[in-house]
Amino acid sequence: MDLEIEAFGRSDVGRKRDRNEDDFLCLDLAGRTAAAEYAWLLAVADGIGGHIGGAQASAAAVRALKEAFPPGGRAGLAARDALLGAFREANSEIFRMAADIPGSTGMGTTLVAALVRPGFAFVANVGDSRAYVVRRGTLYPVTRDHSWAAEQRAAHSLSESDIERSPFRRMVTRSLGYEENVQIDGFEVDWEARDALLLCSDGLCGPVPERTLGRAFRRAGDLRALCDRLIHLANGRGGPDNITAVTARFRPAGRQWGRRGRA
């Protein structure tokens, strides 16, 4: 059976924030010469909370990704190089924006993005927005958080209860726009016909346990309903932050399972 990929994304302000500083991308790469080897470009960006300009920063990151993969892009451009270049361009733009906007020192955004084709994905990330492979209802992390909490857990320097009580527990240690240069992590991922991919902000993977997210995937119908369910789960646990979920999976060629997310 011939398989293709469908993708969908949704974002919600949550129940505690006044505005949504997340942004996301589900870009169908069909016909875009620069990315002919990949089917989709998926991304989630989470503007750094508490800083002026978080929404502008996440929007700038998504805009840089779109601009790196224009329709009719020049032949011979490696898609991975274009993706990493977009991360760097977004970082430079946000860094410049912070210098020009009064009171916006420290503005930035996380960014996780995936170039996806049947059986393979290339994932890049900065910050604590995550990518997972979902296999038979179990979430397998692809990315590693760049956060104070993740660093303490890796060093085994504090107990989990101490981490959760710390005022630094949500502090991101790497983001786009915070410094003039940024280190980007990249991962190669094999995924199978029964797998799904999930990219999300910490407004989803923070309050909702991975086991609960996995159950939602086991019960999923179309991807639109799945994203609605994921956001409902986060809001049901208080919705303490903006919530964004981007999902992708295989489908038989020609079969329509749901509407695509916005590009």
Q: Strands of 40-47's sheet, edge to edge?
A: 22-28, 40-47, 109-117, 120-126, 185-190
pLDDT of residue 259: 36
* Region of poorest pLDDT, from 76-80, 83-87, 248-252: 76-80
Cα-to-chain-centroid distance, residue 179: 20
| Whole-number Å distance between alpha carbons of 194 and 206 | 26
Mind listing the pLDDT tens digit for each residue in 79-118?
899 999 999 999 999 999 888 877 777 789 999 999 999 9
Tell me, yes or no, whether 89 lies in a domain. yes
Q: Which of 19-33, 65-79, 96-110, 178-192 has the highest mean pLDDT?
A: 178-192
| Whole-number Å distance between alpha carbons of 241 and 200 | 12
Can you read off the two tokens belonging to residue 252? Answer: 């038989």
Tell me, yes or no, whether 131 lies in a domain. yes
pLDDT of residue 49: 59
Q: Using the 8-state DSSP alphabet, how is residue 100 labeled?
A: H
Whether 213 has a pLDDT exceeding 50, the answer reads yes
Tell me, yes or no, whether 258 lies in a domain. no
Whether 37 has a pLDDT exceeding 60, the answer reads yes
Tell me, yes or no, whether 233 lies in a domain. yes
Tell me, yes or no, whether 16 lies in a domain. yes
pLDDT of residue 67: 93
Res. 33 pLDDT band, cuts 50 70 90: low
Tell me, yes or no, whether 257 lies in a domain. no
Can you read off the two tokens belonging to residue 18? Answer: 């006044």
> Using an 8 Å Cβ cutoff, are 129 and 113 in contact?
no
Tell me, yes or no, whether 30 lies in a domain. yes
Res. 50 pLDDT band, cuts 50 70 90: low
pLDDT of residue 247: 98
Res. 176 pLDDT band, cuts 50 70 90: very high
Give me the number of domains the chain comprises.
1
> Can you give the CATH number for the domain in which 10 is found?
3.60.40.10
For residues 215-233, average pLDDT: 94
Whether 263 has a pLDDT exceeding 60, the answer reads no
Range of the domain at 103: 3-252
Q: CB-based contacts of 235: which residues, under 8 Å, 6+ apart?
A: 12, 14, 15, 243
Tell me, yes or no, whether 261 lies in a domain. no
